[in-house]
Amino acid sequence: MTFSDEQTRLLKAKLKRRHVKTRAMDGERLSYLEGWHVIAEANRIFGFAQWDRQTLAPHCHWTLQRSGQTVCLYSTRVRVTVRSGDTVTIRDGFGTGLGRSAQPEIAHDVAIKSAETDATKRALATFGNAFGLALYDPEQTHVTRSKKRWRKGTKPELIVVSLSGKECSFTDPLAFSQEVLRQAEEVATIDDLYTLWALNAATMKVLAADPHGGELNQRIISTLKDRARRLTTDKLQSSPVADERHPISDGRPPRSFLLPKEKRIRDRQHLAFVASQPCLICGRRPAQAHHLRFAQSRAMSLKVSDEFTVPLCVTHHDQLHRSGDEPAYWHSQEISNPLEHAAKYWALSHQQNKPSPSQVFNPDTEEEFNEPPLRKPATKIRE
């Protein structure tokens, strides 16, 4: 195999404990990696265009009705192909998935997705510890040790991880925050900023656990958001298409929903319109209107404004809420700025001649095409 020295180092490195999740199963604790993280690691180590996966022959083993819900079990095989120079490496993985929903189509969709994710993780695990191989060892000798919790009178180790994977250790929270913000100012794209954010999110949670570090952690998050807005504004200003739609006057940035407002708009018709569109990630329907939580500052019992919503199917909506880190999740799905899509949906739904629910808008190509709805637009909207 002709992997580069850097790729070999990353594949042989110990699995970071902060990425390992656990759940109870048959009275025991089961360690695992989340599917989105494994795919993000494959993109980071192999490269976005240097690997792909193919789902082979999904099979439904059984389906039944229980307490008004459809329950089904699927299995599938996934083939992962990795290209490195002139070498092509193929690995297969077998996985199963259980789906449960009051709507049969959703139950089957969830089961197939779960089986695909399980099979993908097993196929990628054969490449090294970064993909969960270390978890098959009962002793987990190739998993890093858990960092000590912040205790009174102690200074835990705060590690800053750069885009290249290099780690710098600090015991002073202020020095840690200064290094994170220094690296954030040096990134050139919104994708790199989201990646940097995701790499250091776990350590920032450790900082937030300290009574004196919570304010500093919020300051870091606020500064990172400001940096993201500036990067987005620079991109809009350099784009002829964007300038035409959002003209700049008096040297101020264009009026764009990429720049969050504290005013929180409630528009039921817009939420219904967003829910009638196909999932932004997979294109499946029905969808739900997801509020982009990072678009505005948090407020007690308040969602962000309805203008910051995008359509997600039940599966991806649930995955996003379980991820715990929304910017990292969007990055793993190769969607650099979901706020741009939210702005396009908002503009489309508020045109003078509103489209019918069956008119589908593709935010990537900005083309409209008619497609018969698979079912009536969702009426129950949840975040």
pLDDT tens digits for range 362-377:
444 444 433 333 333 3
At a CB cut-off of 8 Å and minimum separation 6, what does 251 contact? Answer: none
pLDDT band at 262 (very low <50, low <70, confident <90, very high): low
Domain limits of the chain?
5-136, 158-245, 268-370
DSSP 8-state code for residue 192: H
pLDDT band at 214 (very low <50, low <70, confident <90, very high): confident
What's the pLDDT at 311? 94
Give the pLDDT mean for 275-297. Answer: 87
Give the pLDDT mean for 325-353. Answer: 83
CATH code matching the domain that covers 5-136, chosen among 3.30.2040.10, 3.30.390.80, 1.10.10.10, 3.40.640.10: 3.30.390.80
Residue 11: in which H helix or E strand, if any? helix 5-12
15 has pLDDT over 60: yes
333 or 24: which carries more pLDDT confidence?
A: 333
224 has pLDDT over 80: yes
DSSP 8-state code for residue 143: B
Please list the alpha-helical segments (H only) found in the chain: 5-12, 35-46, 104-125, 173-186, 190-208, 214-237, 240-245, 268-275, 314-323, 326-332, 338-349
Residue 21: in which H helix or E strand, if any? strand 21-25
What's the pLDDT at 153? 53
Distance of CA 210 to the CA centre of its chain: 27
What's the pLDDT at 275? 92
**Average confidence score pLDDT of the chain:** 79
Query: Rounded CA gap, 25 and 220, in Å?
Result: 37
Lowest mean pLDDT among 125-129, 212-216, 259-263: 259-263
Q: What is the pTM of this model?
A: 0.43
Query: Rounded CA gap, 67 and 57, in Å?
Result: 30
Give the pLDDT mean for 56-78. Answer: 92
